[in-house]
A and B are shown apart, each in its own frame.
Chain A
Amino acid sequence: MAAVRNRQGQPSGAGQPGPLTGRGARTGLGAAGRGRSGQGAAARGYSGRKETGFFWYFLGGLAISAVFVLPLLWEVFRSFQPESAISAAPSGRTFGHLTTANYKTLLTGQADIIRNVTNSLIIAVITAALTALVATLAGYGFALFKFRGSAIAFGLVLLAFMIPFQAVLTPLFLEMHFLHLLNSLIGLALFYTTFNLPVGVYVMRNSFLQVPRELVDAARVDGASVITTLVSVFRPLIMPGIATAALYAFLFSWTEFLGALSFLTNDSLFTLPVALSNVETGTYGAVNFGLLLAGAVIAMVPCVIVYVALQRYYVRGLISGALKG
């Protein structure tokens, strides 16, 4: 029966309970799973009193947003104050004195924070790349190939979603020790990749399920190899999914603390968040709150840049998870 439908030229999944047709898959944000109500309806649902009170809505929105953004901006400002102004009682006299001294000391001084930033960056990039690669292959396999054990394998990957990594830290420490992966940037990246895979595989599987059926069939008939098809035919369609998986992994890795604290004991390998705990406790001499603030701002900036630039991919992943989770 299914074959008949195919031959009638409706191979795009019409009549199946799937959330999206091929066309919807390419319309960008929000396409992640709005099938039930159609594209526009859901968005229109709440704007009955369209322009009335726009001014008040905007003003209220700015006030609310300020609560969430101003503290961060305030800390950026504070990080440019001299250390003496940060750790003394606030005074109007020193308030406006701005300096880059904290950053200079942090980046060139004993703390050698550049090395830690580099470590963080290396781990985050490896984690993002590995997660994207492994999740893409797995998503491809789960979505477009029928094979025995597929359901079990998919269940296994999602099971990692249910295991909090905080709770397997101790046995993992011993295992990493046996595998010579302690005090290794690669080791930490492998660990991060694992706990990003459930989300990544889920997102990528959905991306492949949204590839129009005609395209899948056509590629097959052509007899192109599996990898060639992936790279030359599917790539443009699954790029948003790959961006989502990589972005999640990057942000996870860049901000992760407990794993890095446990699996790295060599100062020169510390990631930025762990190195800052040395700054906080004054390992490099007296506690210097100026350095701490500058370091925290350095930790914050990449997140903000990456998120603001790629937020539609982030929100996409969040929404597809939320609607089906």
Chain B
Amino acid sequence: MTLAKAPASRMSALTRRGTWRQGRRRSAQERRDTRTGLALVTPAVLFVSVFALFPLGFGVYISLTDWPLIGPYHFIGLANYENLVHNSVFLQSIVFTLKYTAIVTVPIFVVGYALAVFVRSNRRGSTLFRTMIFLPYIVGLVAESYMAVVELQPSSGTANFALSKLGLVSDTTAWLVHTGLALTAISVLVVWFASGLTMMLLMAGMQGIPHEIYESARVDGASWWSVERRLTLPLLRRSIALSLIISVVGSFLAFNQFFIMTDGGPGTSTVPVVMSIFDTAFAQMDVGLASAMSVVLVIVVGLITFVQFHYLQGDGD
């Protein structure tokens, strides 16, 4: 990540003060800096090591064992990974998650982009609109999923009431007990929830594009559409990459909305990857297998991030 590319030269600015002093003073100062600096960053490094990096390595180790939730365990090599290939629920959950991700990614991006174009100017009201459009993201998908459960009930929910008045569906449509309908309802909810975030990220990118570039395009008489396509889109590559990574990875790690709205049903037809890991670990208590699934998930998410970043970043940056 480019986040890590800190301008190291600037960190040294402080010690530069010492460069015109004599060597001994400087090295004493440097030693003190090292001690203080290390002491300051140690808590953060500890937190991350204990609760993120260690579990990652520990998970790889567990995935090579038959670790039950309680009781002794044995080292069994790659057997868990071999089992994964035949685990139909897990394979189905991967296919389902890919499908869900494919369904929501484009609408989130298109809606988010359109909203960003709308609110990027500093016209009167645009700040207010940004706030309101972003609100569903702030409130969080959990509370909204509970609300959706109530409103998607056949014959009492608002969704059927409104849609049946428009003649689109019957007012007895049971959204959450049919795979296709449930996926549709959840996708609509998620697009509504997440496009505000894409809007914010793209808007920030758009506002970072120097004004002069647009001035010269306007002088050349370019149309709005060609300016958008030839100037904004290419210059926005980094922001687009970031917003796509966030939305694709987010979809791939989806859990809450499915747990709350369908609990994976009907059958196991709407079980996303994270839910199949969750069930394997905490319902079937097969921690080894669940860890193998987690390792696969980490690799897949890492690959998605890497590919999208490189593909969209371009320019070798």
Partner of A292 from B47, B48, B136, B149 at Cβ < 8 Å: B149
Q: Does B49 contact A (CB under 8 A)?
A: yes
Q: Which of B118, B131, B138, B147 contacts A251 (CB 8 A)?
A: B138
Give the docked Cα–Cα distance between A318 and B207 (Å).
13
What's the interface size class on A, roughly?
35 or more
Tell me the complex Cα distance, A137–B34, Å. Answer: 14
B107 close to chain A: CB less than 8 A:
no
Verify A37–B10 contact, CB threshold 8 A: no
A141 lies within 8 A of B36 (CB): yes
Q: In A187-206, which residues have CB < 8 Å from any B CB? A: 190-191, 193-195, 197-198, 201-202, 205
Residues of B within 8 A of A318 (CB): 200-201, 204
Contacts of A280 in B (CB 8 A): 146, 149, 260
Q: Say yes or no: A220-B17 contact (C-beta < 8 A), given A41-B211, A169-B281, A293-B147.
A: yes
For B53, the chain A residues whose CB sits under 8 A away are 156, 159-160, 163
Q: Which residues of A contact B282 (CB under 8 A)?
A: 173, 262
Q: Decide if A144 touches B14 in the complex (CB within 8 Å).
A: yes
- Distance from B162 Cβ to chain A, minimum over Cβ atoms (Å): 10
Q: Determine whether the beta carbon of A173 is less than 8 Å from that of B158.
A: no
User: Of A61-69, A111-119, A236-244, which binds chain B?
Assistant: A61-69
A323 interfacial by beta-carbon distance below 8 Å: yes
**Number of chain B residues whose Cβ lies closer than 8 Å to a Cβ of chain A:** 120
Tell whether, in the assembled complex, residue A156 and residue B49 are in contact, meaning their CB atoms are under 8 Å apart.
Answer: yes
Chain A residues whose CB sits within 8 angstroms of the CB of B95 once the complex forms: none
Q: B47: nearest residue on chain A (CB-CB)?
A: A194
Tell me whether B88 is interfacial, beta carbon within 8 Å: no
Q: Which of A45, A86, A195, A273 contacts B52 (CB 8 A)?
A: A195
Contacts of A296 in B (CB 8 A): 143-144, 146-147
- A150-B37 contact given A6-B17, A13-B10, A58-B124, CB 8 Å threshold: yes
Give, as a whole number of angstroms, the nearest-CB distance from B194 to chain A.
11
Tell me if B2 is interfacial: C-beta within 8 Å of chain A: yes
B156 (CB) vs chain A CBs: closest residue: A87
Is residue A57 within 8 Å, beta carbon to beta carbon, of the partner chain?
yes
Which residue on B lies nearest to A297, using beta carbons?
B143
Q: Does B85 touch A at the CB level, under 8 Å?
A: no
The answer for the CA separation of A58 and B201 in the assembled complex, in Å, is 22
Q: Does A90 contact B (CB under 8 A)?
A: yes
CB contact under 8 A between A142 and B11, given known A68-B192, A276-B146: yes
Partner of A36, one of B38, B129, B210, B239: B210
Whether A21 is near chain B, meaning CB under 8 Å from some CB there, is no
Among residues of B, the one whose C-beta sits closest to the C-beta of A252 is B140
> In the complex, what distance in Å separates the CA atom of A289 from the CA atom of B49?
43
Interface centre among B11, B47, B122 (most CB of A within 10 A): B47
A-B contact pairs, 29 of them (CB 8 A): A3-B16, A17-B7, A37-B208, A41-B211, A58-B124, A65-B128, A72-B136, A142-B11, A145-B33, A145-B40, A146-B33, A165-B52, A166-B274, A170-B277, A170-B287, A170-B290, A170-B291, A171-B291, A194-B50, A209-B10, A226-B36, A277-B259, A289-B153, A296-B143, A296-B147, A300-B140, A304-B135, A322-B242, A324-B3
